[in-house]
Amino acid sequence: MNDIFVLVEHRQGEIRDITFEMLMKGKQLCEKAGNSLTAVLLGNGVGAMAEELKARANRIVLIEDPQLENFNSEAYQQVLADLVQQEKPSLVLVGHTAFGMDLAPSLSTRIKVPLATDCIDVMVEGDHIRANRQTHGGKVNVEVRLKPAQCSMVTLRPASFSVEEYSLGGELTRVTSPLTEEIASKRFLEYVEAALGEVDITQADILVSVGRGIKDPENIPLVQELADSLGAILSCSRPVVDKKWLSKDRQVGTSGKTVKPKVYIAIGISGAFQHVAGMKGSGTIIAVNRDPKAPIFNVAHYGIVGDLFKIVPTLKEKIQEAFA
């Protein structure tokens, strides 16, 4: 069976965690199927990254080009389409990240290979690929199968696989970039950092975090008062920021901040994986949600099923009494 490819994701000089997670999964698949693991690294002046990856794969394919300096799906697509057609890997793993979501669907379409996106597990069975994914905000698991093909592509959800130390002592193969002309259809211009806000939720010992369940901006003071009673900082999930009820600097999750407070109290947050990825390292997680099947209860240490508009006021009063 042909190689498994893992597309290395890096940004601003650093290899991103998803890369090591995919390599770990790729290594396990290779051990089962008896094939070889290749890390594909595209960039410019990234020789040090290639060295860093040697332990993690049997082979590192390195393609350098000034047009690959920063991620550009069009440049990546041209290079990878060539490489995949030459090398014919059986499976290509890409992160289900801002990088992979911009690249994998169009790349797979261009090279005519089946794609399964946002998968939490992947299995090789004979000539086809099976994968597990989640739908409906994490409330349903589905098992999917890709149509049999010489090559398949799967994007993997970040933080789905834990990474262990290992050393494969991979060898480095340099491949000449096939890019000859400037790619004019899509140009990377710059990175923009989110503006610094008034609070730093990453420094808090206790976070009271509010989600869509709060329903109306007029209800925000209710949770703010609970936070105040504990000397906690108020944070939130994405929908609250999307609706402009709280500022972006309070957002916990993949596109916001990663937090690890001693206590994280999630109120009216369903627990989409993008949110969970930003808070699952918290010491103790207490979740309040009306839906007993909300995915937040899978990551919480303590769960309360019920109406936040009843629980929060009682809890606030009791806390004020207890800690007065």
Partner 1 sequence: MEIIVCIKRVPETAEADLVIDKTGRDIEKEGLVFDLNEWDNYAVEEAVLLKDKHGGTVTAISMGPEEVNEVLRRALGMGADQAIRLTDPGFEGSDGYAIAKVLSKAIEPLAYDLILTGVQTEDDGYGQVGPTLAEMLGIPHAALVNQIEDIEGGRARVHRELEGGLEEVLDIALPAVLSIQTGINEPRYVSIMGIRKVAQKEIKVLGLHDLGMKPEEAGEDGSLMLVERASFPPVGEGAQMLEGTMDEISDKVIAILKEKGGVA
User: Which residues sit opposite 263 in a β-bridge?
Assistant: 206, 284
Q: Report CA torsion sign: 122, 85, 19, 195.
A: negative
The whole-angstrom separation of Cα 199 and Cα 234 is 9
30/230 with CB nearer partner 1: 230
Beta-strand relationship, 263-267 and 302-305? unpaired
Near partner 1 by CB under 8 A: residue from 10, 96, 250, 275: 96
60/93 with CB nearer partner 1: 93
Q: Is 227 in the site for partner 1 (CB under 8 A)?
A: no
> Which residues, 33 to 92, sit near partner 1 by CB under 8 A?
70-74
27/257 with CB nearer partner 1: 257
Near partner 1 by CB under 8 A: residue from 26, 89, 170, 295: 295
Q: How far is CA 53 from CA 47, 48, 66, 155, 196, in A?
A: 10, 9, 21, 20, 33
Q: How far is CA 7 from CA 4, 38, 65, in A?
A: 10, 9, 16
Near partner 1 by CB under 8 A: residue from 2, 36, 134, 224: 134
Q: Is 258 in the site for partner 1 (CB under 8 A)?
A: yes
**What minimum distance in Å lies between the beta carbon of 54 and partner 1?**
26
Near partner 1 by CB under 8 A: residue from 98, 171, 200, 221: 98
Q: Is 187 in the site for partner 1 (CB under 8 A)?
A: yes
Of 82, 93, 77, residue with least CA distance to 6: 93
Q: Is 11 in the site for partner 1 (CB under 8 A)?
A: yes
Near partner 1 by CB under 8 A: residue from 28, 44, 51, 145: 145
Q: Is 198 in the site for partner 1 (CB under 8 A)?
A: no
Of 56, 46, 47, 50, residue with least CA distance to 25: 56
End-to-end alpha-carbon separation of the chain, Å? Answer: 68
The SS3 of residue 2 is: coil
The whole-angstrom separation of Cα 287 and Cα 303 is 5
Near partner 1 by CB under 8 A: residue from 117, 160, 177, 235: 117
Q: Which stretch binds partner 1 (CB under 8 A): 37-45, 54-62, 163-171, 305-313?
A: 305-313
38/117 with CB nearer partner 1: 117
Of 250, 249, 256, residue with least CA distance to 277: 256
Near partner 1 by CB under 8 A: residue from 32, 171, 221, 302: 302
DSSP state of 196: P
Q: Is 297 in the site for partner 1 (CB under 8 A)?
A: yes
**What minimum distance in Å lies between the beta carbon of 179 and partner 1?**
16
Q: Is 123 in the site for partner 1 (CB under 8 A)?
A: no
Near partner 1 by CB under 8 A: residue from 1, 87, 105, 178: 105
Q: Is 292 in the site for partner 1 (CB under 8 A)?
A: yes
**What minimum distance in Å lies between the beta carbon of 25 and partner 1?**
19
Maximum CA pair distance of the chain? 71
The whole-angstrom separation of Cα 231 and Cα 200 is 14
Near partner 1 by CB under 8 A: residue from 181, 184, 218, 324: 184
Contacts of range 29-34, beta carbons closer than 8 Å, 24 or more positions apart? 29/4, 29/91, 29/122, 29/123, 29/124, 30/4, 30/58, 32/124, 33/1, 33/4, 33/124, 34/1
**What minimum distance in Å lies between the beta carbon of 298 and partner 1?**
6
Near partner 1 by CB under 8 A: residue from 13, 47, 221, 306: 306
37/42 with CB nearer partner 1: 42
